[in-house]
Homo-oligomer: A and B are copies of this chain.
Amino acid sequence: MKAEIYAILEGPVDTNPRARAFNVFMMSLIVLNVTAIILETVPTLRAAYGPLFDRFELISIAIFTAEYIARLWSATSDPRYAESLRGRVRYALTPLALIDLLAIAPFFLALLFPLHLSITRSLRFVRLMRLFKLTRYATPLQTLGSVLRDRRDQLIICLFIVLILLLFTSSTVYLVENQAQPEVFSSIPASMWWGVATLTTVGYGDVYPITPLGRVMGGIIAILGVGIFALPAGILASGFADELDRQRTKRTQICPHCGQAFEDHT
Contacts and interface: CB of A to CB of B under 8 A. Distances in A.
Interface of A: 34, 37-39, 41-43, 121-122, 125, 128, 131, 134, 138-141, 143-144, 154, 156-162, 164, 167-168, 171-172, 174-175, 186-190, 192-193, 196-198, 200-206, 208, 212, 215, 218-219, 222-224, 226-238, 240-241, 244, 251-258, 260, 262-266
A48 to B, nearest CB: 13
Given A128-B168, A187-B41, A227 B233 contact: yes
A193 B219 contact: yes
Contacts of A260: 256-257
Given A34-B167, A205-B205, A232 B227 contact: yes
A118 to B, nearest CB: 9
22 contacts: A38-B189, A41-B187, A42-B188, A125-B171, A128-B167, A131-B164, A139-B157, A141-B160, A144-B228, A162-B223, A193-B219, A196-B222, A202-B203, A202-B222, A204-B208, A223-B232, A226-B233, A227-B233, A227-B237, A234-B241, A235-B241, A251-B266
B41 A189 contact: yes
A38 B208 CA distance: 20
A144 B229 CA distance: 12
Copies of this chain per assembly: 4
A162 B162 CA distance: 22
A208 B187 CA distance: 19
Contacts of A189: 38-39, 41-42, 212
Contact of A206 (B37, B41, B208, B237): B208
A34 B171 CA distance: 11
B204 A41 contact: no
Contacts of A266: 251, 253, 264
A129 B155 CA distance: 24
A125 to B, nearest CB: 5
Contacts of A234: 227, 233, 237-238, 240-241
A255 B254 CA distance: 11
A187 B125 CA distance: 12
A154 B215 contact: no
B237 A265 contact: no
A206 B206 CA distance: 9
